[in-house]
């Protein structure tokens, strides 16, 4: 019976061939480590955020007079409203954590290199959409941090040449952050996840064209590729289980640790909080903004700091496979960059003193410096590695894979160069 | 532009409050109905005349399991679904104190340090040489030393006072997050379930991957 139904569908829609091509027959490198789980996890968190968000929207009221109360209504009176709300607020942090690990993996293993530049760039677009969505969602509880965060960030658009003032008013819908801002942020916060879903589909189509990268950094021959299902479906589900345990510890036991105390005070335009801090996932970029004494310069630096990743395919000139895995100097650079991010995050969190501003400025220089050094360092490192001789296991791997491929050209994957 | 610079500078100047922040006494709030009910009672006598708890209704107290008789006394002729609004009008409060006393429903969540902050604040009063009271934790406070902590030095009386403040804070912590106990209870089940599920998934994963040559 079910066979007949599937036949009926297959006549009209490529169901079986789709499943075969994208799932049961989709070739995936067998050597993927658990660092490759995070793309799936990001997709899962996206679904979780959309699902909880839709139910929250049924009880939330986007009105400056009502929104703070409506959150408390959700937290206290709606059946399991507290669960929905904490899943959603924790989910935002989880989303960024997963995405940052996903990006760090790409950087470490050099997965942004040819032929995966478009994946990296669509990913960059997704990051921007995610940041915009998170920022707009943060205004909705209408707490003190919501209000003042939105005020400070929308103010940054004053840096737009010639029409800065108008752009800020256009964004806010008013001269200050107010009811018009809240309602439009709510509308856009509901819209953007669907744009993200669209961009994710583009990201996935690109992935299924070029196929996954792998820790060796070498395009594997057919014998080293295994079907996605069942091997990676089960591996992803196992990873999901571990992720959910960590996520649920936060949802059930530490949900308030991710909510700034000041955001439990209703927004008050007449009273600036002592210390305006963004959510943890914006802290490094916020520190860069504050490190530049000039306002326009700070905004440009902050925008650039997020966009710098997009240049990586051009900056990394090395042809040594495997990203940081086989490249000791690039690896060192990678870890120093992570350390620098942590320093920036800390500087963004603490109230600025003359000393912390100085540290922030040095860390900002290191941030951009590490990108600008990549072309020179990668080229020099490549020369040095070739002169010194690649490690024997890399050489064996490259030789073995190319032999395998030349013997069985028919088994090439669609993403391989012709 | 100018406004922005002022704003940015405001964000960038370390606040006086931050620098002078006094050390908090760490407390663990109690979660038993008895302690929370004691706290509610103390709060009704000492705080409720000026402070509201607008997100808590008398019915919530009853549903939590507090003594019906006491709730009847507190609410008087107000309906069971009335929120715990303060007995003083905002205008009168501004006349007496210069500010509207803040709503207490979220107080333990709305301050850095949470319940420990509120506890330390309640007990943080001291007498200045010129006969008024100040507060170590929140020097700008307009609230009088309602529990009388500035005048109490005798150990036994001090202990009594600490217990009182502890009860109030326990009640406030419950009021700020009334579903906390339910959340923890459910959390143990969910995480326990996930542990078993993940363990099973791990075995299935090993099983599936063992078929690979």
Residue B10 lies in a domain: no
Residue A9 lies in a domain: no
Choose the catalytic residue: A61, A203, A211, A235. A235
Residue B83 lies in a domain: yes
pLDDT of residue B16: 40
Tens digits of per-residue pLDDT, A349-403? 999 999 999 999 999 999 999 999 999 999 999 999 888 888 777 787 777 777 7
* Residue A243 token pair: 């992720």
Q: How many domains does chain B have?
A: 2
CA distances from A159 to A168, A295, A384 (A): 9, 7, 44
**Bridge-based pairing state of the strands A27-29 and B125-127:** unpaired
- Could you tell me which residues are beta bridge partners of residue A225? A29
pLDDT > 50? residue A411: no
Residue B161 lies in a domain: yes
Cβ-based burial of A396 (10 A; exposed 0-12, middle 13-18, buried ≥19): exposed
Cβ-based burial of A303 (10 A; exposed 0-12, middle 13-18, buried ≥19): middle
Residues 215-234 of A with CB under 8 A from B: 226, 230-231, 234
Asked if B163 and B187 sit in the same domain, the reply is no
Asked if B169 and B203 sit in the same domain, the reply is no
Choose the catalytic residue: A224, A260, A279, A340. A279
CB contact under 8 A, A238 and B55: no
Asked if B124 and B184 sit in the same domain, the reply is no
Asked if B92 and B121 sit in the same domain, the reply is yes
Question: Chain B within 8 Å of A252 (Cβ-Cβ)?
Answer: yes
Which domain does B59 fall in, by range?
16-177
Residue B58 lies in a domain: yes
A237/A242 Cα distance (integer angstroms): 9
Of A378, A39, A375, A405, nearest to A218 (Cα)? A405
* Residue B187 token pair: 């959390």
Known catalytic residue at A279: yes
The percentage of chain B sitting over the pLDDT mark of 70, rounded to a whole number, equals 90
Q: Within its chain, how far is the Cα of B143 from the centroid?
A: 16
Q: Which among A75, A249, A351 has the least Cβ separation from residue B18?
A: A351
pLDDT > 90? residue A180: yes
Residue B75 lies in a domain: yes
pLDDT > 80? residue A413: no
Cβ within 8 Å of residue B107, ≥6 positions away: B118, B172, B176
Consecutive H or E run containing A225: strand A225-227
What proportions of chain A, in percent to the nearest 5, are helix, strand and coil?
Answer: 75, 0, 25
- Could you tell me which residues are beta bridge partners of residue A226? A28
CB B54 within 8 A of CB B83: yes
B93/A358 Cα distance (integer angstroms): 46
Known catalytic residue at A212: yes
Residue A22 lies in a domain: no
Of A176, A194, A192, nearest to A138 (Cα)? A192
Q: How many domains does chain A have?
A: 1
Choose the catalytic residue: A89, A111, A216, A236. A236
Instruction: Tell me the whole-structure pTM to 2 decimals.
Output: 0.91
Tens digits of per-residue pLDDT, B48-65? 989 999 999 999 999 999
Residue A3 lies in a domain: no
Residue B67 lies in a domain: yes
pLDDT of residue A217: 84
State the virtual CA torsion across B80, B84, B90, B96 in degrees, nearest 10: 130
Which domain does A73 fall in, by range?
32-411
B72/B88 Cα distance (integer angstroms): 20
What CATH number has the domain bearing residue A325? Answer: 1.20.810.10
Tens digits of per-residue pLDDT, A306-335? 999 999 999 998 888 888 888 999 999 999
**For chain A, counts of helices (H) and of strands (E):** 16, 2
A323/A215 Cα distance (integer angstroms): 8
Residue B110 lies in a domain: yes
- Could you tell me which residues are beta bridge partners of residue B53? B84
CB contact under 8 A, A276 and B4: no
Average pLDDT in the A266-287 region?
94
Q: What are phi and psi of A248, to 5 degrees?
A: -70, -30
Residue A14 lies in a domain: no
Asked if B60 and B31 sit in the same domain, the reply is yes
Asked if B126 and B146 sit in the same domain, the reply is yes
Residue A153 lies in a domain: yes
Query: To probe the interface with B, which of A234, A250, A296 has the most B CB atoms within 10 Å?
Result: A234
Is B134 in a helix, a strand, or coil? strand
A160/A175 Cα distance (integer angstroms): 16
Asked if B94 and B189 sit in the same domain, the reply is no
* Residue A38 token pair: 């995070």
Helix axes B68-75, B33-46, angle to 10 degrees: 20
CB contact under 8 A, B179 and A261: no
**CA distance, residue B152 to nearest chain A CA (Å):** 31
Residue A24 lies in a domain: no
Query: To probe the interface with A, which of B104, B111, B177, B191 has the most A CB atoms within 10 Å?
Result: B191
Residue A48 lies in a domain: yes
pLDDT of residue B21: 60
Asked if B135 and B63 sit in the same domain, the reply is yes
- Ordered alpha helix ranges (H), A109-213: 117-139, 144-155, 164-172, 179-210
State the virtual CA torsion across A141, A144, A149, A150 in degrees, nearest 10: 60
What CATH number has the domain bearing residue B116? Answer: 1.10.760.10
Residue A416: pLDDT band (50, 70, 90) is very low
**CA distance, residue A195 to nearest chain B CA (Å):** 31
Known catalytic residue at A229: no
CB contact under 8 A, B7 and A152: yes
């Amino acid at each position: 019976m079910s066979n007949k139904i599937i036949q009926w569908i297959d006549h009209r829609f490529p169901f079986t061939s789709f499943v075969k091509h994208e799932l049961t027959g989709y070739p995936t490198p067998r050597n993927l480590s658990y660092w490759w789980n995070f793309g799936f996890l990001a997709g899962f968190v996206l679904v979780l955020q959309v699902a909880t968000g839709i139910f929250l929207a049924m009880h939330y009221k986007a009105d400056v007079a009502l929104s703070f109360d409506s959150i408390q209504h959700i937290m206290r009176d709606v059946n399991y409203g507290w669960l929905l709300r904490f899943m959603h607020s924790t989910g935002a942090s989880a989303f960024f954590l997963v995405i940052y690990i996903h990006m760090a993996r790409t950087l470490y293993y050099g997965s942004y290199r040819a032929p995966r530049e478009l994946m990296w760039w669509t990913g960059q677009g997704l990051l921007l959409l995610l940041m915009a969505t998170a920022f707009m969602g943060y205004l909705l509880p209408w707490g003190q941090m919501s209000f003042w965060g939105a005020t400070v960030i929308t103010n940054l658009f004053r840096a737009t040449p010639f029409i800065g003032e108008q752009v800020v008013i256009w964004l806010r819908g008013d001269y200050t952050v107010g009811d018009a801002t809240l309602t439009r942020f709510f509308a856009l916060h509901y819209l953007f996840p669907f744009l993200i879903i669209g961009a994710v589909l583009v990201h996935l189509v690109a992935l299924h064209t070029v196929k996954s990268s792998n820790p060796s950094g070498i395009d594997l021959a057919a014998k080293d590729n295994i079907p996605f299902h069942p091997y990676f479906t089960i591996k992803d589900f196992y990873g999901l289980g571990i992720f959910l345990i960590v996520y649920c510890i936060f949802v059930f036991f530490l949900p308030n640790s991710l909510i700034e105390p000041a955001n439990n005070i209703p927004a008050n335009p007449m009273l600036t909080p002592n210390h305006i801090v963004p959510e943890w996932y914006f802290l490094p970029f916020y520190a860069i903004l504050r490190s530049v004494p000039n306002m326009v310069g700070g905004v440009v630096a902050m925008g650039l700091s997020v966009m710098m990743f997009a240049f990586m395919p051009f900056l990394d000139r090395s042809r040594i496979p495997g990203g940081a895995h086989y490249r000791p100097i690039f690896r060192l650079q990678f870890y120093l960059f992570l350390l620098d991010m942590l320093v920036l995050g800390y500087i963004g969190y603490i109230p600025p003193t003359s000393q912390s501003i100085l540290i922030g400025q040095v860390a900002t220089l290191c941030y951009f410096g590490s990108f600008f050094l990549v072309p020179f360092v990668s080229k020099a490192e490549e020369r040095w590695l070739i002169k010194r001789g690649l490690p024997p296991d890399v050489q064996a791997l490259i030789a073995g894979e190319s032999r395998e491929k030349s013997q069985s050209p028919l088994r090439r994957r669609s993403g391989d160069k012709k | 532009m100018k406004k922005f610079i002022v704003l940015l500078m405001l964000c960038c100047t370390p606040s006086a409050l931050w620098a002078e922040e006094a050390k908090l006494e760490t407390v663990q709030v109690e979660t038993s109905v008895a302690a929370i009910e004691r706290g509610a009672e103390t709060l009704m006598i000492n705080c409720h005349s000026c402070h509201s708890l607008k997100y808590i209704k008398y019915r919530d107290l009853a549903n939590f399991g507090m003594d019906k008789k006491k709730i009847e006394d507190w609410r008087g002729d107000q309906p069971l679904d009335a929120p715990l609004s303060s007995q003083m009008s905002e205008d009168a409060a501004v006349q007496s104190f210069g500010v509207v006393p803040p709503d207490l429903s979220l107080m333990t969540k709305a301050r850095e340090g949470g319940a420990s902050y509120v506890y330390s604040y309640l007990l943080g009063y001291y007498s200045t040489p010129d006969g008024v009271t100040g507060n170590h934790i929140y020097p700008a406070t307009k609230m009088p030393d309602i529990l009388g902590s500035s005048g109490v030095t005798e150990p036994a009386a001090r202990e009594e006072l600490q217990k009182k403040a502890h009860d109030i804070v326990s009640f406030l912590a419950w009021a700020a997050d009334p579903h906390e106990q339910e959340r923890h209870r459910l959390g143990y089940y969910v995480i326990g379930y996930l542990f078993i599920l993940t363990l099973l998934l791990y075995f299935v994963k090993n099983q599936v991957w063992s078929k690979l040559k």
